[in-house]
Amino acid sequence: MRDLRRLISGPAYARYRVKDATGAGAEIRARSMVTGWADDTTVDVSSPDGRYRIRPRAIVLATGARERPRTARRIPGDRPHGIYTTGQLQNLVHLHHQPVGKRAVIVGGELVSWSAAVTLREAGCTPALMVSQYPKAQAPLLVAGTNGPFDVHDDSGNAVKTQMNVKVESAKYVTATELGTSKKPEHGQYVALKLTLKNVSKAPGRFAAYGAMMWQDAKTAPQDCTTLEIVDGPDLDTEYAPGQSATGTIILDIPRKGGTVTYYDAPGAGAFAVLLPSS
The whole-number pLDDT of residue 166 equals 94
Mapping DSSP onto H, E and C, the string for 236-258 reads CCEEECCCCEEEEEEEEEECCCC
Q: CA-based diameter of the chain, in Å?
A: 70
CA distance 164 to 198: 5
CA distance 39 to 237: 56
Tell me which residue of 194, 195, 192, 187 sits closest to 256, measured CA to CA.
187
Q: Along the chain (279 residues), what's the average pLDDT of each consecutive run of 10 residues?
A: 55 82 90 91 92 92 69 66 84 86 87 78 87 71 87 71 91 93 91 96 90 85 87 90 95 93 77 88
In terms of Cβ atoms closer than 10 Å to its own Cβ (0-12, 13-18, 19+), residue 261 is buried
Task: Give the helix, strand, coil percentages of the chain, each rounded to 5.
Answer: 15, 35, 50
The whole-number pLDDT of residue 1 equals 47
Q: Is the pTM of this model over 0.85?
A: no
Contacts 24+ apart (CB under 8 A), 19-27: none
The whole-number pLDDT of residue 218 equals 74
The whole-number pLDDT of residue 84 equals 87
CA distance 159 to 61: 27
Instruction: Indicate the pairing of strand 269-275 with strand 141-142.
Output: parallel
